[in-house]
Amino acid sequence: MNIENIEAFVYINHYGSFNKAADVLFLSQPTVTARIQSLERELDCKLFDRFGKQIHLTDKGKQFLPYAQQILQTYQKSKHHLHSKRTTLGELRIGCTVSVSNYLMPHLLMRLNERFTDMKFKITTAPTDELAAKLSSRELDLAFVRKMMNPAFQSYSFFEDPIRLYVYKEHPLAATGRASIRDIRHEKLIFFECGSLDWMRIHRVFESLEQPPNIVFQVDNSETAKKLVVRRAGICFLPGLCVQQEVEAGLLVPVDITETMGIALQTNLITLSGEHTEIAEALLDYSGRVPN
C-alpha cells in the first residue's frame, strides 16, 4: 500500500478539501485526486462522497480513517527513529523568516551553541511556504514560520510580537501615545506588508473609514519602513521587535491605536512530527524572550 496515497487521504479528511490538501502537500489538485483514486481501487471501495463543493467520508472511509492515521503515524515515528541521532552528531539546519533571521536568530544561535557545543548550525532564510516545503522534503530540521496549520508538523507557539503604530519623535502623536484610527486618516502612511494574515487585520481596520488611508510608501522590508519613519517620510505600523533599538534610542515612539490593540505577529516553531524534540524544547526555553 502506497504511503503517499494514505497521506493524501488523511490530509483531505483533515482539511475537508482536495485543494487545501494539495496546497499543504505542495502537489497539484489532479495529483491528489489520482492518489485517492488509486487508494480506492486498492481498497475496492469509495472513500469520499461529494456534495457540491463539500466532501464527506463514506461509511467505508470512516472505517478506514483510524487505520490510515495509525499507519501514517507509525511511518513518521519510524523515520524519526532512523534519523534521531543525526542532529546530535553533526549539523542542525534551521529555516526562518526574514524577521526572525534579523532580530531573533543571533540571540538563539548563541544560546544553542552554549547548550550543544559540538553541533554546527546552518540557517536558511525564506518565506513561510518555502520553509514548510523544505521541511517536508527534509532539507531543514526545523523552521520558524508564521502561524500555520499542517498535520505533518509539530507546531509550537514561539513568539508573539505586538504590531503598533510608530511615529518619529517630533510627531504630534509622540506626546500623546494614543489615538484612534480616525486621528490618522490624513497622515502619510508607510505600509510594511509581510504577507501574514495578521496584516490583513490592519487592512480591515481601515475599511471602517469613509476614505482609504493615505499610503504613500508600500514596502516589503521592515528595515526600509522604519528608516522612512525615522526620516519623517510618514508613520507606520510595525512589529515591536524590529524597532526595539530605535525606540530605546528615542528615534521612534510607539502610539497605541484603539482599533488595532491586540494585533500581533505570530511566530511558530515547526518540526516534522515526533522529530528533534530535544532541540525544540531547548529553543522553547527562550520563547517569548526579546533579546537585549
Beta strand 235-239 with 153-168: parallel, antiparallel or unpaired?
A: antiparallel
Confidence (pTM) = 0.64
Which one-letter DSSP state was computed for residue 190? E
Q: Domain residues of the chain, as ranges? A: 3-83, 86-159+266-284, 161-264
Q: pLDDT for 6-40, tens place per residue?
A: 999 999 998 889 988 888 887 888 999 999 999 99
Distance CA 291, CA 157 (A): 17
Q: What is the DSSP string of 216-279?
A: EEEES-HHHHHHHHHTTS-EEEEEGGGGHHHHHTTSEEEEEEGGGTT-EEEEEEEEETTSSHHH
Are 255 and 164 contacting, i.e. CB atoms less than 8 angstroms apart? Answer: yes
Model confidence at 42: pLDDT above 70: yes
- Fold (CATH) for 161-264: D-Maltodextrin-Binding Protein; domain 2 (3.40.190)
Are 143 and 95 contacting, i.e. CB atoms less than 8 angstroms apart? Answer: yes
Q: Which of 161, 99, 156 is nearest to 128 (CA)?
A: 99
Helix or strand or coil: residue 203?
helix
Model confidence at 80: pLDDT above 80: no
Distance CA 14, CA 231 (A): 49
Model confidence at 85: pLDDT above 90: no
Distance CA 133, CA 256 (A): 37
Beta strand 153-168 with 252-257: parallel, antiparallel or unpaired?
A: antiparallel
Question: In sequence order, what are the beta bridge partners of 56?
Answer: 49
pLDDT, residue 290, reads 44
pLDDT mean over 106-118: 88
pLDDT mean over 115-123: 89
The single residue listed with the C-alpha cell 520558524 is: 144
Q: Which of 291, 263, 269 is nearest to 196 (CA)?
A: 263
Question: In sequence order, what are the beta bridge partners of 95?
Answer: 124, 143
* Domain 86-159+266-284 and domain 161-264 have a common topology: yes
Gap between the terminal Cα atoms of the chain = 53
Q: What is the DSSP string of 124-186?
A: EE--HHHHHHHHHTTS-SEEEEES---TTEEEEEEEEEEEEEEEETTSTHHHH-EE-GGGGTT
More confident: 41 or 274: 41
Distance CA 49, CA 61 (A): 9
Q: What is the CATH number of domain 3-83?
A: 1.10.10.10
Question: What kind of architecture, by CATH, is found in domain 86-159+266-284?
Answer: 3-Layer(aba) Sandwich (3.40)
Q: What is the DSSP string of 31-64?
A: HHHHHHHHHHHHHTS--EEEETTEEEE-HHHHHH
Grid cell of 183 as nine digits: 486621528
pLDDT mean over 32-55: 91
Distance CA 35, CA 175 (A): 61
Q: Which of 234, 244, 243 is nearest to 184 (CA)?
A: 234
